[in-house]
């Protein structure tokens, strides 16, 4: 393990403990842990300061460190880290995120501070920004997220929200790594969102180790549609009549818009086997995503690739060969965990009106 990996791993460990401490209401301890995460991520980033060709790793590390600096209210440090990242060659998407972060580095005025309750002044973590910490996970080293899914002794809503955060971290880590073994068998996937059609993905497979079929390693999401441009689901404006805060899942405008149907959810569903299972020859198999023989659980990544990003199948995940898979325990969760547009993770549930929504629906797991 290199020093970059070592410092980054420490940062991830501290950030994860900080998140758990926050959930448990230990705000002061969480604040200290977030600061430790920031210091270690800053050190990891500085190792790549002069290596302008080390992209996207360089800008991702600096973005992560800057986000943690803002969480710690180290605005000057955050500004330095962001400008250093921008001085290199960050990919367009990351550059835009860095610009958004820069807007958050403005030091609040005394009047603005006084408008915030004292408990919030002591601790104001940005959970969305914290997710950025995981973006570098797969670039440098695979990280196993401890089994904090389905926290016992906590309310269902808190447990659901914890699942959202952890699964988002996992998906970002998976994408940051490179994987082969995914294949569009008929070579008929759409060329982009405007050509999206959920029926075109039924021939796609993961875990294909057949000589001559192994695709070139690339950055994919752990879904049957895999490629960034294939993920077109987003949140619309309509809400669940029974849960007004939960918005309906829809296709993006480029993909034609409209409410997501079952095949759309199934195409965007995370294959839990890809992020939980370690490599095993008997798990590397070929099977179309709608095939009963391929349960999205009985599959693994190829030998030698970073794997096992999660310790166990989430209790809240929806079972079935068309959803998140079936580890054989016989207890299905409520939510189909999917990857939407721009890699955003949603916990999707189907309401009584037949539409799919994202959010806690009052049931867990």
pLDDT digits (tens, 9 = 90+) for 2-17: 788 888 888 888 888 8
Q: Which two tokens stand for residue 28?
A: 């002061």
pLDDT of residue 264: 97
Tens-digit pLDDT profile for residues 235-251? 999 999 999 999 999 99
**Domain segments of the chain as ranges:** 3-141, 183-358
Q: Is the pLDDT of residue 140 over 50?
A: no
Q: What is the pLDDT of residue 259?
A: 97
Measured distance CA(119)–CA(117) in Å, rounded: 6
* Residue that has been written with the tokens 């400008």 in this structure: 83
Q: Any bridge partners for residue 249, and if so which?
A: 235
- What are the tens digits of pLDDT across the range 198-229? 988 888 888 877 777 767 788 999 999 999 99
Cβ count near 87 (within 10 Å): 12
- Paired sense of beta strands 183-184 and 233-240, if any: unpaired
| DSSP letter string, 81-106 | HHHHHHTS---HHHHHHHHHHHGGGS
SS3 of residue 339 by DSSP = strand
Average pLDDT over residues 229-236: 95
| CB-based contacts of 308, cutoff 8 Å, min separation 6 | 142, 144, 275, 276, 277, 278
Q: Decide if 338 contacts 268 (C-beta within 8 A).
A: yes
Position 134 scores a pLDDT of 45
Q: What gap in Å lies between CA 177 and CA 307, rounded to an integer?
A: 9
Above 50 in pLDDT, residue 178?
yes
Residue 77: per-residue pLDDT: 92
CA angle at 211 for the pair 210 and 213, rounded to the nearest 5° = 65
Provide the 8-state DSSP code for 248.
Answer: E
Whole-number pLDDT of residue 293: 52
How many whole angstroms separate alpha carbon 86 and alpha carbon 189? 35
Which residues, 6 or more positions from 100, have their beta carbon under 8 angstroms from its beta carbon?
A: none
The one-character DSSP state at 321 is T
For 238, the 3-state DSSP assignment is strand
- Most confident stretch, 127-131, 154-158, 175-179: 175-179
As to burial, measured by CB atoms within 10 angstroms (0-12 exposed, 13-18 middle, 19+ buried), residue 9 is: middle
Residue 312: count of CB within 10 angstroms of its CB: 13
Predicted confidence at residue 20, as pLDDT, reads 78
Contact 270, 167 (CB under 8 A): yes
pLDDT tens profile 28-47: 898 999 999 999 999 999 99
The closest of 47, 66, 83 to 130, measured between CA atoms, is: 66
Q: Determine contact, residues 295/250, Cβ cutoff 8 Å.
A: no
Q: How far apart are CA 305 and CA 318, in angstroms?
A: 26
Question: How far is 52 from 31, CA to CA, in rounded Å?
Answer: 32
Take residue 267 and report the two structure tokens written for it: 């195409």
């Amino acid at each position: 393990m290199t020093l970059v990996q070592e410092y980054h791993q420490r940062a991830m460990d501290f950030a994860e403990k900080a998140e758990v401490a926050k959930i448990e209401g230990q705000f002061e301890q969480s604040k200290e842990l977030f600061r430790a995460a920031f210091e270690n991520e800053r050190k990891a980033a500085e190792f790549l300061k002069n290596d302008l060709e080390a992209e996207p790793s360089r800008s991702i590390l600096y973005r992560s460190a800057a986000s943690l600096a803002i969480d710690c209210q180290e605005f000057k440090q955050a500004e330095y880290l962001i400008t250093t990242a921008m001085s290199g060659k960050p990919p367009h998407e990351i550059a835009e995120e860095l610009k958004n972060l820069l807007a958050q580095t403005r030091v609040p005025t005394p009047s603005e501070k006084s408008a915030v309750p004292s408990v919030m002044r002591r601790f104001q973590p940005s959970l969305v920004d914290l997710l950025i910490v995981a973006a570098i996970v797969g670039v440098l080293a695979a990280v196993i997220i401890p089994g904090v899914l389905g926290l016992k002794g906590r309310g269902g809503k808190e447990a659901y929200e914890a699942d959202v955060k952890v699964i988002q971290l996992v998906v970002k880590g998976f994408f940051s790594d490179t994987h082969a073994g995914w294949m569009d068998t008929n070579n008929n996937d759409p060329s982009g969102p405007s050509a999206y059609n959920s029926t075109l993905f039924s021939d796609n497979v993961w875990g294909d180790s057949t000589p001559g079929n192994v695709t070139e390693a690339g950055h994919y999401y752990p879904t049957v549609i895999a490629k960034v441009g294939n993920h077109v689901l987003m949140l619309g404006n309509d809400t669940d009549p029974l849960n007004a805060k939960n918005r309906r899942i829809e296709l993006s405008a480029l993909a034609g818009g409209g409410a997501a149907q079952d095949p759309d959810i199934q195409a965007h569903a995370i294959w839990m086997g890809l992020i939980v299972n370690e490599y095993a020859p008997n798990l590397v198999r070929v099977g179309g995503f709608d095939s009963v023989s391929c349960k999205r659980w009985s599959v693994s990544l190829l030998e030698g690739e970073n794997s096992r990003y999660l310790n166990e199948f989430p209790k809240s995940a929806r079972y079935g060969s068309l959803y998140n898979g079936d580890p054989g325990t016989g207890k299905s969760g409520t939510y189909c965990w999917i990857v939407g547009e721009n890699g955003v993770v949603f916990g999707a549930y189907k309401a009584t009106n037949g539409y799919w929504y994202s959010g806690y629906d009052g049931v867990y797991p």
